[in-house]
Amino acid sequence: MEQTNAAAASAKPIRCRAAVSRVAGQPLEMEEVEVAPPRAHEVRIKILCTSICHTDITFWRMEGLHPSIFGHEAVGVVESVGEHVREVAVGDTVVPVFTAQCSECPDCLSDRSNICSKLPDVHGFMPRDGTTRFSSASTGEPIRHFLSVSSFVEYTVVDVTHVVKLDASFPPAMACLLSCIGAAWKVAAVAQGARMRGATRIIGVDLNPDKFDVGKRLGITDFINPNDTGGKTVSEVIKEMTGGGGADYCFECIGSASVMAEAFQSSRMGWGKTILLGVIGSMAPIGIPPQDLLPGRSVIGSLFGGIKPKNDIPMLAQKYLYKELELEEFITHEMGFEEINRAFELLAQGKSLRCIIWMDGAKVTDNGDSLPEARSREAPMAAGEGKAPTLAAEEHSLPPHEVPVENSSSEKSSDNSVAEVVPEKDAETPAAQDTTSVVEDKSETPEMTASSEKPEEEGMLLQRKAMRLKRKQLMRTAKGEGAPECEKFAKYYRSLCPSEWIERWNEQRENGTFPGRL
């Protein structure tokens, strides 16, 4: 405790760069801000890299939330900690997450929820005292936080309940994606989750056919473009493709009330389940007739993919190391912090899946290659079609693996389908070119399709091979050479998992209950 208090007392305000949103829908302004020291139960983090999510764009377009520092996908290093912080220490690699986990309240202790009931949901400010740690360096004007993270800044302050520790050797860009599993890249995450659960048919729906090549690599088997259905609705097409019954599971990913209703209509009678993942920017009601619910269909929501961040993000990191979870495919661009407005436009126009923004524009990538600023690996996607794809999938068996996108995994059926429905253009999801003011310099953005065999692809393949090689080396180092298999296993898990998990496993071995619940 004395060491923690001393560290907290020695922390001083830091001045650094931040991309501040001052006017709704207008380009972010690069400013110098002052970041206050962390208070009790808080952690100040030096951001290594961040990325942009559709949720950032949704709130960026809203009135009344400015000035704000947006961003909620990031990875960083702990710079200082406040009093009563014991989970992490200065120098630890961490990912800040928008979902809290205090590990004390009834909801955190329950397997049925990933919503912490201890900390209030305070929009724009720190959760414990309702104040901000950001201010303008020139005027002293307070600047709002966003989703308890605020990562579009070189240093941020986060409550310790929103911080997950990872091994320092884990690739930063991949850790950045794990910080928001099931959010803006949720469609591809749903596809992987369905595939891991044994889905034999996964149908994606999107207005942009250029995304289908990426979808195929992630396990999507069929695709529907709402513009090419011959006047039929998406739900009618999905029912035809599934023998008239509809999909067992439907996932809506963009946050549109009309698409949510269409996803529900795509589910089958009796046991069809529709899971809402998209963050909706309006208060529009979902048009579902009550009588359509009576035959056994249901609608539920899922926040943060239904996972508990402190428990499950380290497990997802393990799945990535074992090649059970694809992450590289999501990264279509990498660029420096000063180009964040260009990254906003690429995502708003549907020209990127994930853009990794490095605070140091000359940052070395995970495979050891230098990262030129504004490096692009984009597939040419039509402007104004920045909508998440939809998935519909049929599965015939559901092995007992956890799905990262759905909280309730206990229900099974003999003929399960997973369906995820995506956008039709409506008033709730206006075309990106009508709402964004960010300008892209297309001369700096070489286009490349996922299936083309241009010279640039050879470099991409070499980079991915190098990344896989590094991943294997990390695993071999963690496991040790020449050790018995059981010792390798234990050493490897110690390198990935929190110490309390190891202690719990040791207790279970002693009392004969291993493996048991953590």
Asked if residue 155 and residue 302 are part of one domain, the reply reads no
Closest CA to 251 of 83, 133, 59, 405: 405
Residue bearing tokens 């234990």: 490
Q: What's the pLDDT band for 422 if we cut at 50, 70, 90?
A: very low
Instruction: Identify the DSSP state of 254.
Output: S
Rounded Cα–Cα distance for residues 464 and 451 (Å): 16
Residue ranges of alpha helices (H) inside 252-374 are: 257-265, 309-321, 340-348
Asked if residue 191 and residue 164 are part of one domain, the reply reads no
Retrieve residue 320's tokens.
Answer: 């990535």
Cβ contacts of residue 310 below 8 Å, gap of 6+?
Answer: 101, 103, 164, 498
Rounded Cα–Cα distance for residues 49 and 335 (Å): 10
**Mean pLDDT, residues 458-474:** 59
Asked if residue 172 and residue 67 are part of one domain, the reply reads yes
What is the pairing mode between strands 354-358 and 331-336?
Answer: parallel
- Indicate the average pLDDT of the chain: 76
Q: What's the pLDDT band for 374 if we cut at 50, 70, 90?
A: very low
In this predicted model, what pLDDT tens digit does every residue of 280-299 receive, in sequence order? Answer: 766 788 889 999 999 999 99
Closest CA to 146 of 68, 54, 44, 73: 68
Provide the 3-class DSSP secondary structure of residue 108.
helix
Q: Is the pLDDT of residue 88 over 80?
A: yes
Q: Is the pLDDT of residue 241 over 60?
A: yes
- Of the two residues 261 and 277, the one the predictor is more confident about is 261
Rounded Cα–Cα distance for residues 35 and 80 (Å): 12
- Of the two residues 311 and 212, the one the predictor is more confident about is 311
Share of the chain above pLDDT 90, in %: 47
Asked if residue 204 and residue 172 are part of one domain, the reply reads no
What is the pairing mode between strands 73-81 and 93-96?
Answer: antiparallel
Rounded Cα–Cα distance for residues 94 and 78 (Å): 7
Asked if residue 238 and residue 142 are part of one domain, the reply reads no
Q: What's the pLDDT band for 90 if we cut at 50, 70, 90?
A: very high
Q: Are 333 and 194 in contact (CB under 8 A)?
A: no
In this predicted model, what pLDDT tens digit does every residue of 175-199 receive, in sequence order? Answer: 999 988 644 345 666 887 787 778 8
Q: What is the CATH number of the domain that holds 152?
A: 3.90.180.10
Q: Return the sign of the alpha-carbon dihedral for residues 491, 493, 496, 500.
A: negative
> What was the pLDDT predicted at 217?
80
Instruction: Report the first-to-last Cα separation within the chain, whole angstroms.
Output: 27
Rounded Cα–Cα distance for residues 137 and 161 (Å): 28
Q: Are 8 and 38 in contact (CB under 8 A)?
A: yes
Task: Examine the fold and report which residue of 367, 394, 424 is the final residue of a domain before the chain moves on.
Answer: 424
Closest CA to 161 of 119, 210, 205: 119
Residues facing 149 on adjacent strands:
none
Residue 144, domain member (yes or no): yes
Q: Which residues of 297-336 are buried (b: 16+ CB within 10 A; e: fewer)?
A: bebeebbbbbbbbbbbbbbbbbbbbeeebbbbbbbbbbbb
Mean pLDDT lowest among 65-79, 86-100, 208-222: 208-222
Asked if residue 212 and residue 71 are part of one domain, the reply reads no
Q: Is the pLDDT of residue 403 over 80?
A: no
Q: What's the pLDDT band for 394 if we cut at 50, 70, 90?
A: very low
Rounded Cα–Cα distance for residues 491 and 109 (Å): 27
Q: What is the CATH number of the domain that holds 195?
A: 3.40.50.720
**Mean pLDDT, residues 67-77:** 97
- Of the two residues 13 and 421, the one the predictor is more confident about is 13
> What was the pLDDT predicted at 474?
56
Q: What's the pLDDT band for 268 if we cut at 50, 70, 90?
A: very high
Asked if residue 206 and residue 152 are part of one domain, the reply reads no
Q: Is the pLDDT of residue 485 over 60?
A: no
> Across 388-467, where does the E strand assignment appear?
390-395, 416-419
Chain centroid to Cα 384, Å, comes to 22
Task: Examine the fold and report which residue of 180, 204, 232 is the final residue of a domain before the chain moves on.
Answer: 180
Asked if residue 291 and residue 167 are part of one domain, the reply reads no
Asked if residue 124 and residue 20 are part of one domain, the reply reads yes
Mean pLDDT lowest among 177-181, 332-336, 354-358, 453-457: 453-457
> What was the pLDDT predicted at 386?
38
Residue bearing tokens 């931040």: 18
Q: Is the pTM of this model over 0.85?
A: no
Asked if residue 154 and residue 199 are part of one domain, the reply reads no
**Which domain does 416 fall in, by range?**
186-306+384-424
Asked if residue 215 and residue 135 are part of one domain, the reply reads no
> What was the pLDDT predicted at 250?
94
Q: Is the pLDDT of residue 9 over 60?
A: no
Q: Is the pLDDT of residue 450 over 70?
A: no
Mean pLDDT lowest among 24-28, 393-397, 477-481: 393-397
In degrees and rounded to multiples of 5, residue 3 shows phi and psi of -65, -40
Q: Is the pLDDT of residue 98 over 80?
A: yes
Q: Is the pLDDT of residue 418 over 80?
A: no
Task: Examine the fold and report which residue of 180, 202, 220 is the final residue of a domain before the chain moves on.
Answer: 180
Most confident of 22-36, 390-404, 498-512: 22-36
Residue 509, domain member (yes or no): no
Instruction: Identify the DSSP state of 465.
Output: H
Rounded Cα–Cα distance for residues 230 and 197 (Å): 33
Q: Are 308 and 104 in contact (CB under 8 A)?
A: no
Number of structural domains (the chain) is 2
Retrieve residue 425's tokens.
Answer: 């253009």
Q: What's the pLDDT band for 254 if we cut at 50, 70, 90?
A: confident
Rounded Cα–Cα distance for residues 260 and 276 (Å): 7
Q: Is the pLDDT of residue 141 over 60?
A: yes
Rounded Cα–Cα distance for residues 250 and 199 (Å): 13
Amino acid at 302: S
